[in-house]
């Protein structure tokens, strides 16, 4: 079990026995997500997060075709491993390949080619590679990654779901029994597939990206109540929906990794106007809304500079007025099935 650091709120992660900081560190930027990053800056940013009390670090082989895991592993060697909850994912392994291009959305990365594989042996291979890149002997959390229509197409996603249930899940259960993996779960941005997995198998953790945010809450009706009823620890990613809830409806704002369409820009502008009326920055409201659901233990946020870590901590400490949430709901901007936050993180 990770030891919480005084000064940063923490919460139990479902029935896993793990305690995680309410803000986690999302490592996709370490893989040169959208932009190439300076190596020293990456390491300094991770160190700043750890020093601030962040204990949960979430990464994946997909992020820069292994680059994010390499960078995080380098940073980990300067940390007390007992104060780190390390999460990575399965579903891809890497093959060295000269001239291999970066993954979609990434500006750089390692010269490796990703191979999708949710089989038993493919999962063992993916975990072994992650352990080597991270320089550790165990993963506190291992998540089945990216089973969805967007990644695989409709027919492909159905096949990958079946493959993961028959292969990846038993492999992770084996690794859990051996002590190589602590908790097993799902790392998805599709709430429908997430619910199907929870109803089909026994999982400890759900990391859900983008589907419960201030902008949209499709996970509120049935998925999050199901996770809570099963004792599944919930982590949210993508709570800014790829950036637009951090930047606001400005030119170039991103939604789901692409330029935001007009209807999303208009919706965010309406939300931001209500937030401004209550003196609350949009990003602060977005963070506290996501943390406000009682099933949610932590929210993972990316950062590319130590100053961004400080900004995220400051956002956690800034508590929006309760009237903000009721006004957003009265304006039809928060679903009736969503849970309005209470005071405090």
DSSP string, 153-183: -HHHHHHHHHHIIIIIHHHHHHHHHHTSEEE
Residue 341 is assigned to a structural domain of this protein: no
Residue 244 is assigned to a structural domain of this protein: yes
Residue 274 is assigned to a structural domain of this protein: yes
Active site residue 89: yes
Could you tell me the residue range of the domain that residue 190 belongs to? 18-330
Residue 302 is assigned to a structural domain of this protein: yes
> With the C-alpha atoms ordered 238, 103, 308, 313, is the resulting torsion angle positive or negative?
positive
Average pLDDT score over the chain? 95
Residue 121 is assigned to a structural domain of this protein: yes
> With the C-alpha atoms ordered 71, 77, 80, 82, is the resulting torsion angle positive or negative?
positive
Smallest Cα–Cα separation from 305: which of 19, 20, 35, 3?
35
Q: Which of 32, 38, 44, 89 is catalytic?
A: 89
The enclosing H or E element of 49 equals helix 39-51
Residue 70 is assigned to a structural domain of this protein: yes
Residue 5: its pLDDT value, please?
Answer: 45
Total number of domains constituting the chain? 1
Q: Which of 63, 118, 212, 255 is catalytic?
A: 63
243: left (phi over 0), alpha (psi -120 to 50) or beta: left
Q: Please list, in sequence order, all residues whose beta carbon lies within 8 angstroms of the beta carbon of residue 273, skipping any fewer than 6 positions away.
A: none
Residue 345: its pLDDT value, please?
Answer: 65
The enclosing H or E element of 188 equals strand 181-188
Residue 207 and residue 87 in contact, taking contact as beta carbons nearer than 8 Å: yes
pLDDT tens by residue, 83-97: 999 999 999 999 999
Active site residue 63: yes
Smallest Cα–Cα separation from 327: which of 283, 294, 289?
289
Residue 137 and residue 86 in contact, taking contact as beta carbons nearer than 8 Å: no
Give the pLDDT of the chain (345 residues) as one tens digit per residue: 444 445 699 999 999 999 999 999 999 999 999 899 999 999 999 999 999 999 999 999 999 999 999 999 999 998 999 999 999 999 999 999 988 888 888 999 999 999 999 999 999 999 999 999 999 999 999 999 999 999 999 999 999 999 999 999 999 999 999 999 999 999 999 999 999 999 999 999 999 999 999 999 999 999 999 999 999 999 999 999 989 999 999 998 999 888 999 999 999 999 999 999 999 999 999 999 999 999 999 999 999 999 999 999 999 999 999 999 999 999 999 999 999 998 566
Give Cα 193 to chain centroid, integer Å: 16
Q: How far is 322 from 340, CA to CA, in rounded Å?
A: 9
Phi, psi (rounded to 5 degrees) for 339:
-100, 125
Q: Which of 32, 35, 38, 58 is catalytic?
A: 58
Residue 206 is assigned to a structural domain of this protein: yes
Residue 13 is assigned to a structural domain of this protein: no
Q: How far is 343 from 345, CA to CA, in rounded Å?
A: 7
Residue 138 sits in a domain whose CATH number is: 3.20.20.100
Residue 343: its pLDDT value, please?
Answer: 58
Q: Is 95 helix (H, G, I), strand (E, B) or coil?
A: strand
């Amino acid at each position: 079990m990770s030891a919480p650091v005084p000064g940063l709120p923490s919460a139990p992660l479902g029935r896993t026995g793990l305690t995680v900081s309410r803000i986690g560190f999302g490592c996709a930027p370490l893989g040169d997500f959208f932009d190439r990053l300076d190596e020293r800056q990456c390491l300094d940013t991770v160190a700043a997060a750890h020093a601030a009390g962040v204990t949960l670090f979430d990464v994946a082989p997909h992020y820069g075709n292994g680059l994010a895991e390499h960078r995080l592993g380098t940073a980990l060697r300067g940390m007390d491993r007992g104060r780190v909850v390390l999460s990575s994912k399965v579903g891809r392994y890497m093959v060295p390949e000269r001239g291999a291009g970066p993954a979609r959305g990434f500006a750089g990365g390692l010269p490796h080619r990703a191979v999708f594989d949710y089989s038993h042996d493919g999962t063992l291979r993916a975990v072994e590679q992650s352990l080597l890149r991270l320089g550790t002997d165990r993963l506190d959390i291992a998540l089945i990654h990216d089973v969805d229509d967007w990644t695989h197409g409709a027919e492909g996603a159905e096949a990958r779901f079946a493959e993961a249930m028959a292969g990846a899940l038993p492999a992770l259960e084996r690794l859990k029994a051996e002590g190589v993996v602590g908790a097993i779960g799902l790392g998805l941005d599709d709430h429908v597939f997430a619910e199907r997995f929870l109803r089909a198998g026994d999982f400890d953790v759900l990391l859900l990206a983008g589907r419960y945010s201030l902008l949209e809450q499709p996970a509120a009706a049935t998925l999050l109540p199901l996770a809570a009823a099963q004792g599944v620890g919930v982590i949210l990613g993508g709570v800014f929906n790829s950036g637009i809830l951090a930047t606001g409806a400005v030119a170039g704002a991103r939604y789901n990794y692409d330029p935001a369409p007009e209807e999303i820009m208009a919706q965010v502008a309406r939300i931001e106007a209500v937030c401004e009326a209550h003196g609350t920055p949009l990003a602060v409201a977005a963070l506290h809304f996501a943390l406000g659901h009682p099933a949610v233990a932590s929210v993972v946020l990316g950062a590319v500079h130590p100053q961004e870590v400080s900004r995220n901590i400051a956002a956690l400490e800034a508590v929006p007025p309760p009237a903000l949430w009721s006004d957003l709901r009265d304006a039809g901007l928060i679903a009736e099935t969503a849970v309005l936050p209470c005071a405090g993180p």
